[in-house]
Amino acid sequence: GAVVSQHPSRVICKSGTSVKIECRSLDFQATTMFWYRQFPKQSLMLMATSNEGSKATYEQGVEKDKFLINHASLTLSTLTVTSAHPEDSSFYICSARASLVYNSPLHFGNGTRLTVT
């Protein structure tokens, strides 16, 4: 089945530094990937839609300069949390759908737990 690999699974960084999270579709091409954020025992909130070769579409209230998204190929999207602060500590999950399959389901990565100290 389709696999989405997300790396790293856990990261601890100091306040003020930047962290990059990768989301790869291993066995399918993904024109579109989605980045979600989840606080403990809460829902997944869509942060942005990542489209290969174009600028990401950010949801209202999400700072595009803080959460940089790059989708440079059909199999890789990256989320960079710039100048991270403790309030950015959260669980980040990416998902992707196969480009060439109509109504293909979304496949999720295993998530990244970010802790900013």
Partner 1 sequence: AQTVTQSQPEMSVQEAETVTLSCTYDTSESDYYLFWYKQPPSRQMILVIRQEAYKQQNATENRFSVNFQKAAKSFSLKISDSQLGDAAMYFCAYRSADAGGTSYGKLTFGQGTILTVHP
Interaction site with partner 1 (CB under 8 A)? 32, 34, 38, 41-46, 49, 51, 54, 57, 91, 93, 95, 97, 102-106, 108, 110-111, 113
As measured in angstroms, the least distance from the Cβ of 58 to partner 1 is 11
Distance from C-alpha of 77 to C-alpha of 18, rounded to nearest angstrom: 16
Nearer to partner 1, 16 or 39 (CB): 39
- The smaller minimum CB distance to partner 1, of residues 22 and 52, is found at 52
Assess contact for 30 and 74: CB atoms under 8 A: yes
Residue type, 19: V
By beta-carbon proximity to partner 1, the closer residue of 77 and 95 is 95
